[in-house]
Amino acid sequence: MNYQELLQLDQQDPLHKLREAFVLPDDTIYLDGNSLGPMPKVCAERAQEVLHQQWSQDLIKSWNTHQWIELPSKVGSKIAALIGAAPEQVMCCDSTSINLFKVLSSALLLQPKRRIVLSLNGNFPTDLYMVQGLSSLIGEDRCEMQLVEEAELEQALTDQIAVLLLSHVDFRSGKLLDMARMTKLAQQQGILVIWDLAHSAGALPVALDDCQVDFAVGCGYKYLNGGPGAPAFLYVAKRHLSKVSQPLSGWMGHKAPFAFTIQYEKPAGIEHFLTGTPPVISMSVLDAALDVFANVNMQTVRAKSLALANTFHQLLTSHAELHELTLLTPLTEAERGSQLAYRHPQAYALCQALIKRGVIADFRAPDILRLGFTPLYLRYIDMWIAVEILSDVVKTAEYLKAEYAVKQKVT
């Protein structure tokens, strides 16, 4: 594949025009949308409106007149459409960690005779930390974490397990798990399943209802492009809503928040999963960002995501000097998400040298260079340019400069 052929692919790309919906810095190829999505232009307009009209002019009245009070469910509905959930099962609120605590507590209450929460060693750490936190609070006799390697996962699904907690896409390797199959296998053993969609919502088609998933959580600032630290979301299957309860029962999750009764009263629906007052500015920006997906078909996104990653990998393997980069992500399309992860003995320095040259990737300890392929704004020619720069950085040994060796606090 040469530059001309890739330019042609861009011209034929049905998503090509969507790039214009984003603000992207000049001379930058942004392969880190899996960590923080770039800013859709509508977000700046919305922030302007929230600050200069809603907050500063309409003040407290905006809870009604600008429907601030409806934001968590409004944003939740938009996210629901992207993750295969019929309405009224998704709420936008809090952080992924907090939301995991809510759904995990709920799931365990539905499993009074079981206590083990099964997950993978490689799961995103905050998910594991939240299990540990709940366990420390309610005791190992009610919540005990068990971690296995992925190869051991299926045989670990027994009737001793209360909850299976999995990330749809592994944050390090980019490996995609089979949601339908794993959910079914678990449920056959009476296990409830929680999926963390941080690296799949907005990146590929997700079918929570079709897979009969019990609970899910996910992140607003990666593929949903909701801005740094954007509020997260949670999903509770309709069939569980009347039976579950969650312990972070704040006033926004009360049946009648403004009745100010002394006793908490559980509402019938997903509103029960709200806690405190939502961060309206951040949530409004996420709300606007989701409009970029309004007419986007997630199958089209998925096809382009795979094609971009395939292009990148083919170009990379065609460069002999890049042979030290070994692919960690499965090449089988059904087994990967929207990123590629390469191991390299000096992955950190390589990543820093790339960033200096305008190719934004990220590093995950100890030796992983992680590249996200986000079809709403990346072009095929970006793959070509990125690999050319990577090749140059390696050929010239530029990444071996001392300045790239020192690790920063956050990468």
Minimum CB distance to its own copies, residue 132 (Å): 5
Note whether 311 and 6 are within 8 A (CB).
yes
Minimum CB distance to its own copies, residue 395 (Å): 25
Amino acid at 178: D
Return the number of other C-beta atoms located less than 10 Å from residue 48's C-beta: 10
Note whether 370 and 361 are within 8 A (CB).
yes
Of the candidates 80, 11, 35, 121, the one whose C-alpha atom is nearest the C-alpha of residue 369 is 35
Is 370 marked active-site? yes
- Cβ nearer to its own copies, comparing 64 with 158: 64
Residue 170 is assigned to a ligand binding site: no
- Cβ nearer to its own copies, comparing 205 with 279: 279
Q: Which of 46, 114, 115, 222 is catalytic?
A: 222
Measured between alpha carbons, how far is 300 from 405 in angstroms, rounded to an integer? 40
Residue 126 is assigned to a ligand binding site: yes
Q: Which of 215, 221, 233, 348 is catalytic?
A: 221
Residue 124 is assigned to a ligand binding site: yes
Q: CA-based Rg of the chain, rounded to a whole angstrom?
A: 22
Please report the sign of the dihedral spanned by the C-alpha atoms of residue 257, residue 261, residue 266, residue 268. Answer: negative
Is 357 marked active-site? no
My answer on whether omega of the bond before 366 falls inside 30° of 0, hence cis, is: yes
| Residue that the structure tokens 């990967």 belong to | 336
- Cβ nearer to its own copies, comparing 195 with 306: 195
Is 304 marked active-site? no
3-state helix, strand and coil shares in percent for the chain, rounded to the nearest 5: 45, 15, 40
Minimum CB distance to its own copies, residue 47 (Å): 6
Minimum CB distance to its own copies, residue 93 (Å): 9
Q: Which of 22, 30, 101, 124 is catalytic?
A: 124
Is 266 marked active-site? no
Is 196 marked active-site? yes
Non-local (6+) Cβ contacts of 370 within 8 A are 34, 172, 174, 339, 340, 341, 361, 362, 363, 364
- Cβ nearer to its own copies, comparing 181 with 407: 407
- Cβ nearer to its own copies, comparing 217 with 301: 217
Number of helical H runs and strand E runs in the chain = 13, 15
Minimum CB distance to its own copies, residue 384 (Å): 21
Residue 374 is assigned to a ligand binding site: no
Catalytic residues: 124, 196, 221-222, 370
Write out the binding residues for pyridoxal 5'-phosphate: 96-97, 124-127, 196, 199, 221, 251, 277
Write out the binding residues: 96-97, 124-127, 196, 199, 221, 251, 277
